[in-house]
Amino acid sequence: MCENCCNSDLTLMADVFSDMQKNGDNLITVLQKAQDIYGYLPTDVLYEIAAKTGNSPAKVMGVATFYTQFRLKKVGKYLILLCKGTACHVNGADSIEKAICEELGISDGDTTDDGLFSLKTVACLGCCSLSPVMMINEETYGSLTPSKTVEILREIKGREAK
Amino acid sequence: MRIVIGEGSCGIAAGAGKVHTALTEALRGTDASIGIAGCIGMCFLEPVVDIYDGKTLLKRLVKVSADDAGAIAKAVKNNDLSAVSYLEISEEDSVFLKKQTRIALRRCGLIDPESIDSYLEDGGYNALKKVLSGMSPEDVIEEIKTSGLAGRGGAGFPTWFKWNAARKSEGEEKYLICNADEGDPGAFMDRAVIESDPHALIEGMLIAAYAIGASKAFVYVRAEYPLAIIRLQKAINEATERGLLGDSILGTDFTCRLKIKAGAGAFVCGEETALIESLEGKRGMPRLKPPFPAEKGYENKPSNINNVETFANVSWIIENGGEAFSAMGTENSKGTKVFALTGKIKRGGLVEIPMGLTLREVIYDIGGGIRDNKEFKAVQLGGPSGGCIPKELLDTVIDYKALSATGAIMGSGGMVVMDEGTCMVNMARFFLDFTTKESCGKCVHCRIGTKRMFESLTRITEGNGKEGDIELLTELCEGIRSGALCGLGQTAPNPVLTTIKYFRNEYEAHIKEKKCPAGECAALRQFVIDPEKCKGCTLCSKKCPVGAISGSVKEAHIIDTSKCIKCGQCKEVCRFGAVEIR
Ligand SMILES: Cc1cc2nc3c(=O)[nH]c(=O)nc-3n(C[C@H](O)[C@H](O)[C@H](O)COP(=O)(O)O)c2cc1C
Ligand code: FES
């Protein structure tokens, strides 16, 4: 079917569908809940959602690809959200992106081969006064420089190597 | 004593959570209490810790780190706060707040956003009580009309007019929607209000719902704002428990339910009709207007949409009267406006000022001017829909009309300051990159037009600009402005038009001389070492990834420009500032 040809455990969606019946959740809400469960939106889950919500798979895919929040691929253990909003741009976000890409050998939207890091650029994390800013999983790092960024990444790598 | 830690998203990012944990530990066994507040808006000083005696602020400590917890605890125990005076906010920095007039932000950073009692103690929900105990919906609309309140989401449309249209619109079921999508990258006013004073939003929305006759309301919050969603949900739950929200509010027959809808990340969903599509669970593609949402909005029922800041002003207006609000501001812009002041500014954060102040007053008197003693170059207002205003126009007053006359817009409140090191062509390119990606694709002018503009701008910044490119861009701008379906496309040319208007010389330098005057465009810059400043420490030649730097120890080094890949690492490692960009 696809590269993510996954055998997702569809039973995990049972509560989501029953909530949907009860509260009238719309398609976006259902997709958000599914992503919370699987970490991304596997193709077989999208088909299941289409069937259960009475939409065509094309429509579900249309919504899933419209919004930046939805991911169709697995992400790494550490998801780097790099802000490229206006304030971060003015304060040098491009050089931070370059540093990350060079250090990890990936570009925006990719995951490293070892499955450790994924990089995603976003527009404004709302911490503009600390720009340039990135977020790794739940933690926010501000006032970055290229070398500080590399240090942070190496520290995580070091921790993981142990 | 009461210790209050500012814990908005930016405070937390700066380490407020760690300070909280450390203080809790250090103060164990004392009778001092620890609490939280939202964001006071002084982002440049985060984390901020306030020490109160009852309601009196004794000391405001800034840039506090977890390591300071011991000293603070000791000072509190000894009842001698002078011991932590070294952390106290300076006279100079205090100006930042003193020069502001706060209405929408009046409680931000002062009350506990996670406690309805904190809001009630500060007179919260009094406006709602006043409305429900004697004002008719028409009275409310009249009061808002007197106030002159205009939409703070960008367009500045008179709020009373929209409410009135929704009220008069035929239909039993009506909806009230709050636009908390805050798409302008570089703006965070709405996030701060929700995180710091969520009940102010709820109260404003309830009054609006009463005025238009809606019993169902939504807040559409940006997905990137998880903390705002958590705090707002808590506020909704508490207000419902206290009978201030839900069925028979305050024992009257007014009923209103409020639900949060988390957005899923799409700038265009800030546009009201796209937002409605998204609320319905669809792709956020704008609808053709008319019909306006007041006639056919959510589920094709009459709906009214306002911005967070618009709602945050409502309860103040009801309590203090519309005239008190309209007494502030200019002929055609009343009240105050909140800005998120960021970029190359000394004191960045949230600024609320009466309309009518000049940009210079905000940037210099409140913001303290440009960082690192650099020259001011431009200020960007309104994000991807707005424009850049140059130095010559710094005395422009903040007023819907005056700002539009410059080619920029008031916008929702993003105010990004740029210095001499910012390339204006690259700035235009940055915004077009954004609008190209965010264009929903429904109409051709926007989908293809923004892409073509982005390509031209990219070419210019890469040194491949051609004679006639400026004219081509101007022509594209006109076409998109007049042909696009929604505000996203119609305003996308603004960053390009304003930079061409005020910084044409920079475009020309890129195109004709293949030079970037600001030294930002990588392809056009040349790195050189100033032999006077170079001490021959060899750090740069060791760092250079392509071996382009030569020279012996203690002698001036030289960069071979034919090998140089312009990565800038030499400039970053040099401790003597000897590497220059030309
Ligand atoms: C592309 C685009 C993005 C917008 N983004 C926002 C936004 O993030 N927040 C907002 O309040 N209004 C935004 N607006 C304006 C809304 O369409 C609408 O005018 C506003 O929410 C009305 O509220 P107000 O009258 O209180 O300003 C946007 C408009 C456009 C065209
Ligand atoms: S622009 Fe980067 S956090 Fe706002």
Query: Residue A139 above 90 pLDDT?
Result: no
Ligand nearest to the CA of A87: 2
- pLDDT tens-digit series, residues B564-578: 988 888 998 999 999
Ligand 1 pocket list (CB less than 6 A): B 151-155, 157, 179, 181-183, 268, 270-272, 305-307, 310, 412, 486-488
**Taking CB atoms and an 8 Å limit, are B186 and A69 in contact across chains?**
no
Same domain membership, residue B319 and residue B270: yes
B294 is in which domain, residue-wise?
116-326
Q: Which residue of B has its CA nearest to A123?
A: B185
B residues 139-198 lying closer than 8 A (beta carbon) to A: 182-188, 191
Query: Residue A3 above 60 pLDDT?
Result: no
The residue with greater pLDDT, B503 or B13, is B503
Q: How confident is the model at residue A5 (pLDDT cuts 50, 70, 90)?
A: low
Same domain membership, residue B290 and residue B240: yes
CATH of the domain at B137: 3.40.50.11540
- For CATH 1.10.10, the residue range(s) in chain A are 10-66
CATH of the domain at B471: 1.20.1440.230
d(CA B516, CA B520): 7
Q: In sequence order, which residues have a C-beta less than 8 Å from that of residue B111 and are 6 or more positions away? A: B37, B38, B118, B119, B121, B122, B196, B197
On whether residue B477 sits in a domain, the answer given is: yes
Cα–Cα separations (whole angstroms), residue B115 to B20, B124, B234, B308: 18, 11, 9, 20
Q: In sequence order, which residues have a C-beta less than 8 Å from that of residue B364 and are 6 or more positions away? A: none
Q: How confident is the model at residue A127 (pLDDT cuts 50, 70, 90)?
A: confident
Report how far apart the first and last C-alpha atoms of chain A are (Å, whole number).
Answer: 37
Nearest CA to ligand 1 atom 8: B182
Same domain membership, residue B534 and residue B507: no
Query: Residue A2 above 80 pLDDT?
Result: no
Q: Does domain A78-161 have CATH number 3.40.50.300?
A: no
Judge contact between B313 and B335, C-beta under 8 A.
yes
- pLDDT tens-digit series, residues B391-412: 999 999 999 999 999 999 999 9
B224 touches chain A (CB under 8 A): yes
On whether residue B99 sits in a domain, the answer given is: no
Same domain membership, residue B201 and residue B277: yes
d(CA B541, CA B553): 10
On whether residue B198 sits in a domain, the answer given is: yes
Tell whether omega for the bond before B293 is within 30 degrees of 0, i.e. cis: no
Q: Can you give the pLDDT at residue A153?
A: 97
d(CA B274, CA B236): 25
Same domain membership, residue B184 and residue B316: yes
CATH of the domain at B532: 3.30.70.20
Q: Residue B430: its chain A contacts at CB < 8 A?
A: 86, 89
Domain A10-66: which CATH number of 3.40.50, 1.20.1420, 1.10.10, 2.60.40: 1.10.10
- For CATH 3.40.30.10, the residue range(s) in chain A are 78-161
Q: Residue B284: its chain A contacts at CB < 8 A?
A: 66-67
Write down the mean pLDDT value for chain B: 96
Q: Can you give the pLDDT at residue B145?
A: 98
CATH of the domain at B85: 3.40.30.10
Q: How confident is the model at residue A125 (pLDDT cuts 50, 70, 90)?
A: confident
B226 touches chain A (CB under 8 A): no
Query: Residue A6 above 80 pLDDT?
Result: no
Same domain membership, residue B292 and residue B211: yes
Q: Can you give the pLDDT at residue B567?
A: 82
Write down the mean pLDDT value for chain A: 92
Same domain membership, residue B441 and residue B396: no
B517 touches chain A (CB under 8 A): no
Q: Looking at B488-576, which runs of residues are DSSP E strands? A: 527-529, 549-550, 558-559
Q: How many domains does chain B have?
A: 5
Mean per-residue pLDDT, B476-481: 97
Mean per-residue pLDDT, B492-505: 98
Same domain membership, residue B250 and residue B142: yes
Same domain membership, residue B288 and residue B150: yes
A residues 41-80 lying closer than 8 A (beta carbon) to B: 62-63, 66-70
Same domain membership, residue B352 and residue B312: no
Q: Can you give the pLDDT at residue B201?
A: 98
**Taking CB atoms and an 8 Å limit, are A63 and B223 in contact across chains?**
no
Mean per-residue pLDDT, B372-390: 95
CA distance A76 to chain B (A): 19
- pLDDT tens-digit series, residues B256-286: 999 999 999 999 999 999 999 999 999 999 9
B residues 344-373 lying closer than 8 A (beta carbon) to A: 344, 348-349
Query: Residue A45 above 60 pLDDT?
Result: yes
On whether residue B101 sits in a domain, the answer given is: no
Same domain membership, residue B345 and residue B436: no
- pLDDT tens-digit series, residues A78-115: 999 999 999 999 999 999 999 999 999 999 999 999 99
pTM higher than 0.90: yes
Share of chain A above pLDDT 90, in %: 85
Ligand nearest to the CA of A123: 2
**Taking CB atoms and an 8 Å limit, are B265 and A27 in contact across chains?**
no
Q: Can you give the pLDDT at residue B581?
A: 84
Instruction: Report ipTM for this prediction.
Output: 0.92
B12 touches chain A (CB under 8 A): yes
Cα angle, residue B137 at apex, residues B133 and B142 outer, rounded to 5°: 110
Q: Can you give the pLDDT at residue B373?
A: 87
Query: At residue A95, what are phi and psi to the nearest 5 degrees?
Result: -70, -30
**Which residues are registered as beta bridge partners of B305?**
B177
Q: Residue B186: its chain A contacts at CB < 8 A?
A: 85-88, 124, 128
